[in-house]
Amino acid sequence: MSTNNEIKPKQFINEICENFGPRPSCSDSSRKTALYLRSKFKKYCNNVELEEFYGYPGFAKPFIGYPMITTILFFLALGLYFFIPIISLISLILGIYASVFKLFSLEEYDFFYYMYPRRMGMNVIGKILPENKPEKLVILGGHHDSPYYFPLYWKFKKKTVYYVYSLVVFAIIFFILIVLKIISQFTYGFQFSILAFDYFLI
C-alpha cells in the first residue's frame, strides 16, 4: 500500500469523465470505471474488492422510465374522465403509485420497476487497515456512475418542490372529482351537481 498522497481530486474526476464518458447505472462504462477504480485503489488500500449488484436502471430514464409512465397515466386519466371515469380513476391511482414510490426511493416495491431489463452493476470497496487496534470505523462513500438529471430541477433547484406540490394538489382534487363523477352515475339526483365540475374542466 502506498502512503504517498499523489491523487489530485479534480484531475482524477476529469480523467474518469474523459476516459469513460457518461456512466449510467449498471452500464458498460460504469462497470469499466469500477475496474479502473479498483486498479487505482490497490495503490492505497490493503484490500480491494468488487461487489456486484443488480438493478433496473431503465426505470429512471427520462423518456422511457417512470417520468413518462406517470405523464401518460395522468393524461390518460384526464382524457378518460368524461367517458370512462372508473378507468380514469385507475389510471390516476397508478400514476400516483409510480410517482410516490420513486419519490421516497422505494422502487423495489413498485411493479413498474421490474418491467425494465435487469442489469448488473459494480461497487468498489477499498479497505485501509489500521496499524493498531481501531477505536472508530470511518466509511467514505461515493458514486462513480453518472445518473440522469432533470433539467427542470437543474434550472429551478429547490423551487422545483413547488411544482411537485402543485401536481400533488392537482392529483388529489382530480381524484375527488373522479370519485364524485362515479358516484353521480349511480345517484340520479346528484348527477346534476357534478356537471358544474365537468364544465370547469372543459
Q: 183-200, pLDDT tens digit by residue?
A: 777 765 455 445 545 555
Amino acid 193: pLDDT: 47
Contact by Cβ (8 Å): 98, 73: yes
- Tell the burial category of 199 from Cβ atoms under 10 Å away from its Cβ (0-12, 13-18, 19+): exposed
Greater model confidence, 113 or 3 = 113
Rounded CA-CA distance 98/72 in Å is: 12
What's the confidence (pLDDT) of residue 62?
56
The interaxial angle of helices 160-186 and 85-103, nearest 10 deg, is: 150
The answer to whether residue 37 scores a pLDDT higher than 80 is: yes
Residue pLDDT, tens place only, 120-159? 999 999 999 888 888 888 888 888 888 776 666 677 777 7
Mean pLDDT of the chain: 79
Alpha-carbon distance 93 to 112, whole Å? Answer: 13
Model pTM score? 0.64
Percentage of the chain lying above the pLDDT 70 cut: 74
| pLDDT of res. 8 | 79
Domains of the chain, residue spans? 1-51+120-138
Residue 172 has pLDDT above 70, yes or no: yes
pLDDT mean over 19-32: 91
29 vs 71 pLDDT, higher one: 29
98-117 pLDDT per residue, tens: 777 666 666 666 666 777 78
Q: What's the mean pLDDT in 50-60?
A: 83
- Compare 34 and 196 and report the one with higher pLDDT: 34
- For the chain, the DSSP string reads --------HHHHHHHHHHHH----TTSHHHHHHHHHHHHHHTTT-SEEEEEEEEE-GGGG-TTTSHHHHHHHHHHHHHHHTTT-HHHHHHHHHHHHHHHHHHHTT-GGG-GGGGGSPPEEEEEEEEE---SS--S---------S-----HHHHHHGGGHHHHHHHHHHHHHHHHHHHHHHHHHHH-HHHHHHHHHHHHHH-
